[in-house]
Structure formats: C-alpha cells, structure tokens
Amino acid sequence: MKHLKFVNHRIDEYALQVTYDPATDNGKVIFNLTLIKEEDRIYAVDIIHQSHKAGICVSDRMLITDAGEQIGDKTIPTGYCGIVTMCSITLDAILLRNGIPINPIGGGLLEIKDHVPRRFTSLIRYDATTIDPTQVMIDQGSTGISGVIQSGNGSILANIRESHMAAEPLLYEILDLFGTVGFTGILDVGRPNRPMFGVPVTTNYQGIVMIGGANPVAAFIESGRWAETTAMKGLIPVSRLVHIDDIE
C-alpha cells in the first residue's frame, strides 16, 4: 500500500536525488509529465513557443516525446505524446543540497497585471497537502495563463520558498548560475522579513518566488483540449531536454 506523503516531505526526498549542477549544466532534474493526444501536438508546440516568448516558462528546455518512449516509469501510450517540463522544485532541491537553509512554503496562482506580478490570489502550503498545488490549480481550471500570453493580464502558476538571510551571498551566487543556463523562472527575491506578493515569511528569512514549470501545459488545457498532468513525476537527465526553439 502506498503511503501518503506531504509535498514538503517529497521535496526533501528529491533533494537527496537531484544531481543537477548549474556550474556544469549536467545531472538529473525533477520533471512534470503531461499526456496529450497526438492530434493536438501542433497546437501544443505553438502554445509552448508562445509561453516561452511571454516569459512564463521556468526553463528554456523541455521535451515532447512520442508514443512508445519511456519517461521515468511511464511509457507513452499509442495515440498520445508526452510533454516533459522541468519542475521548479528542482531549485529547492539544489539549494538544499548546497547547504542553504530553505523552507519551501507553497504554490498557487500569482496575479499578473500589465505584465507585472502583483500578488498571490491562491496559495496551498506544501506542508498541508499531499497533492502538488500546481496539479490542484490545473485540475480546478483556476489559471488565467492565456490572458497573460495575449495581453499581460491574468494569473500564472508560481511558488514561493524562503531562505535564511545569512545565506544571501551564496543564494545569489547559485541563482546567477541558473540564469546562465536558461533557468529563467526566478521572478523575484525579497528583502529579509518582508512579505512577498502578499505572502509573509519567517523572521530572518527572505522569500524567493518562481514561475511554475507547468504553465505552458496549463495554457494548453485552458483551450479545452484533453490532457493528463502529473507534477513532480520523477527525475530525468537534463541532457534529454531540448531548447524550446528547437521543438517542432
């Protein structure tokens, strides 16, 4: 029998398994997996490119797999293809592995107005759920990503964690490395003891807000097309992912 695990405990477990090193751009990252019908592939590719152009992808790399391919413990069934996106929780795992005291707080919907992030309108704490908040928001149809792509107004998937202020120099060092390898989903780093987009942080900590990895998939689902998404599905070598500009 499979035991229930709160998401914050799953993040801790992944921290022991993620091997990605932004300095070498090698190793395994956490991924989300979405199944879509093969007939919707062209539309999905278009949405992925639009999402990337709008700046709401966590990374400039992902993967679209064919039927029969193995992704983690999942074989893509006949008549379907798989969309593999990097999960932003990869950042939490790498920060923890580098000895940075960090507390993943939760994920939810971040309001965007005139292309500027304003506030979290919904948030589910990782220590209070066994289902990834990203998956909950997608399943509920709560996102407004198409509006962000088209006009810069709507809501996107995002998440927040907090890091101890004493680790700030090392934190920025690692975040700068991420920027050089196309990990573009870092929205903002807050000031110590100050709320971020309406979410309070612990005393002597500062917030870090990131774009959710499944935003392109959520935009696809908003069109009414069928998809089955599993957040934090497993680990994949980053070398298997390709640049979004090369996805056709």
Q: Which two tokens stand for residue 60?
A: 């400039």
- What are the sequence ranges of the domains in the chain? 7-87+214-246, 89-211
Q: What is the pLDDT of residues 95-125, one digit of tens each?
A: 888 888 889 999 999 999 999 999 999 999 9
Question: How many residues comprise the chain?
Answer: 248
- Is there a shared CATH topology between the 7-87+214-246 domain and the 89-211 domain? yes
SS3 state at 231:
strand
Fold of 7-87+214-246: Alpha-Beta Plaits (3.30.70)
Return the half-sphere exposure (C-beta side, CA atoms, 13 A cut-off) of residue 168: 11
Please provide the DSSP assignment of 113-142 as one string.
ETTEEEEEEEEEEGGG-SS-HHHHHHHHT-
pLDDT at 1: 57
Fold of 89-211: Alpha-Beta Plaits (3.30.70)
Cβ of 132: how many Cβ atoms within 10 Å? 26
Q: What is the pLDDT of residues 197-222, one digit of tens each?
A: 999 999 999 999 999 999 999 999 99
pLDDT at 16: 83
- Kindly give the parts of the chain with pLDDT less than 50: none
How far apart are alpha carbons 194 and 192 in whole angstroms? Answer: 6
8-state DSSP, 2: P
